[in-house]
Amino acid sequence: MSVTSAPAPVPAVATSGVSRFTSRLRLKGAPWVPLFILAMVLVAAIGGETLTPHDPNGLNLGAAFKPPFWQAGGTSEYLLGTDNLGRDVLSRIIAGARVSAIVSLYAIVFSGAIGTMLGIIAGYFGGIIDTIIVRIAEIKMAIPGLALALIFSATMDPGLSTVIIVIVLTYWTWYARIIRSEVLSLRERDYVAFAKVAGCGSLTIFFRHLLPNIFNTLVVLMTLQVGQVILFEASLSFLGLGIQAPDTSWGLMLADARQYITYAWWGITMPGIAIMLTCLSSNLTGDWLRDLLDPKRRQL
């Protein structure tokens, strides 16, 4: 009688922690074009006037209203044309990127820090503390950002500091409400209960157990906020409530060129395209990070 040997078991392929980490950070499907645009804006913000082909505030009335180089009458000296005072549009766009980057950085740091801490406190402690913070946030959300800008412009000189204050006061509620909802779920987890039983204080639980678990949400929120902050700053500067001359910003360029749009379209179109591309790139990058960092959305 022949004996048929059993097939050898196929060894299971063990998935190491390193491979899981590597697969999590895969860049497949990454929005390379938006990332490249954001990188260019960052380089322009860091380099500033050292990267501009001309002085952003240099006046040359003899070269006023020069069209872009591809249009009749244009020249390669002014690739995107000039405005009513002969200032190079490309140089002003590059210089204006610094204002957008500074405003976004301050807004993300301060509004994110304030909103995150208040959201954690409200969601963790609950009760009267939660009620007070939520009511303050609701009162703030009932006040439009432009109304706040008018108030601060009447009491302070319009400028970069005023824009940052208005944006921080406007956007901290966004962080607070979303982080609060996250913490309301996290505080019921077993590891939080075990930390309380072990005698950990509230600050230890905040920074060791809650903050790391909402980090992914914070990254996505900060990325999505970049485009909103840039658009809000451009709106304030366009209305004369934000950045003032001789400083340069994209919104201020729109305000200066709006009366010449019928015969010098490039003066308002070029900074508008810069704002559109930056905001769209930040939104697409935020969507990609959300899918990458969320285990429910991420496909391994």
HSE of 162, CA atoms in CB hemisphere, 13 A: 22
- 73 domain-assigned: no
Residue 270: what pLDDT?
93
- 89 domain-assigned: no
**Helices 89-106, 266-293: crossing angle, 10 deg rounding:** 40
* Strand, helix or coil for residue 78: strand
- 30 domain-assigned: no
- Closest among 119, 115, 116, 170 to 140, alpha carbons compared: 170
CB 68 within 8 A of CB 254: no
* Strand, helix or coil for residue 245: coil
pTM for the predicted model, two decimal places: 0.80
- 135 domain-assigned: yes
Domain that holds residue 236: 97-250+270-293
Sign (positive or negative) of CA dihedral 148, 97, 42, 65: positive
Q: Which residue has the tokens 């209305």?
A: 239
φ/ψ of residue 214, rounded to 5: -110, 10
CB 182 within 8 A of CB 217: yes
CATH number for the domain that contains residue 113: 1.10.3720.10
* Strand, helix or coil for residue 75: strand
- 48 domain-assigned: no
Residue 300: what pLDDT?
47
- Measured at the CA of 171, the angle between CA 188 and CA 295, to 5 degrees, comes to 45
What's the domain count of the chain? 1
- 188 domain-assigned: yes
Per-residue pLDDT of the chain (300 residues; tens, 9 = 90+): 444 444 444 444 444 444 444 444 556 678 889 999 999 999 998 988 888 888 888 888 888 899 999 998 888 889 999 998 899 999 999 999 988 888 888 888 899 999 999 998 998 888 899 999 999 999 988 888 778 877 877 777 778 888 888 888 888 998 999 999 988 888 888 878 788 788 788 788 888 888 888 888 888 888 888 888 888 888 888 888 888 878 888 988 998 888 888 888 999 999 999 999 999 999 898 888 887 876 555 554
Residue 266: what pLDDT?
92
Rg of the Cα atoms in the chain: 26
CB 89 within 8 A of CB 57: no
- 172 domain-assigned: yes
- 79 domain-assigned: no
- Closest among 6, 8, 26, 14 to 300, alpha carbons compared: 26
Read out DSSP for 8-21? PPPPP----HHHHH
* Strand, helix or coil for residue 34: helix
- Closest among 83, 103, 158, 100 to 275, alpha carbons compared: 100
